[in-house]
Copies of this chain bind each other. A is one copy, B any other.
Amino acid sequence: MDLAQMIRDVPDFPVKGILFKDITTLIKDPAAFREAVDRMAAPYEGMEIDLVAAIESRGFIFGAPLAYKLGAGFVPVRKPNKLPAETISASYTLEYGTNTLEMHKDAIRPGQRVLLVDDLLATGGSAKAAATLIEQLGGKVVGVAFLIDLTFLHGVEKLKGYDVFSVIQF
C-alpha cells in the first residue's frame, strides 16, 4: 500500500507558508492504519523494548499501538503542566520561540530499553528533547521511530547518535 498517497497536504496550517502533512486521512483507513503501525514496529520486533515513549499528542496515536504490539509499557512525553506527579523537563527552540516537554520522574527505571515514537520528524527539536529526558532518567534510547520524515529539514542530523527510522520520506 502506498501510505504516502494517503496523507493529505493542507496549505498554510498551522501558520501561513507551512504545508501541513495531515495523517487523519491515513489513520481513518483500517488497512492503512494497521500497515503504518506494523511497518513502524517491524525494526524493533525481538529487540526487547521495555517501554515506548511517545510525544503528545499525535505521537500517542502510533506509540500506544506500538507498545501494545511490542509487549512494552507506554510512557507519555507531554507539554507542560499536563502530567500530575513530579516531572523533569527539557526545552527546545523553534523558529518562533521555545517549547517544553515533560516526563514523570518515575516514568523509567535505570537501564530500561526505550523506543521513542512520534508521528513526524521535522527539525528534530522535540525528539531530541525527549531523548535527553529519557537518558536523564537512566533509560537507553534503542531507537527513534517516525511515520514521516520531512527529509528537507534534516532532522536526522539533530538526532545524530540515535538509530532513526521512518516509514515515509518527503
Once the chains bind, are A73 and B33 in contact (CB under 8 Å)? yes
Of the listed stretches A53-61, A90-98, A146-154, A156-164, name the one at the interface; the rest are far from the partner chain. A53-61
Give, as a whole number of angstroms, the nearest-CB distance from A82 to chain B.
Answer: 8
Once the chains bind, are A30 and B72 in contact (CB under 8 Å)? yes
A71 within 8 A of B: yes
Total interface residues on A, CB under 8 Å, equals 43
For A83, the chain B residues whose CB sits under 8 A away are 24
Once the chains bind, are B85 and A8 in contact (CB under 8 Å)? yes
Which 3 residue pairs are nearest across A and B when measured between Cβ atoms?
Answer: A57-B57, A60-B60, A10-B84
Which residues 65-80 in A have Cβ within 8 Å of B in the complex? Answer: 65, 67-69, 71-76, 78
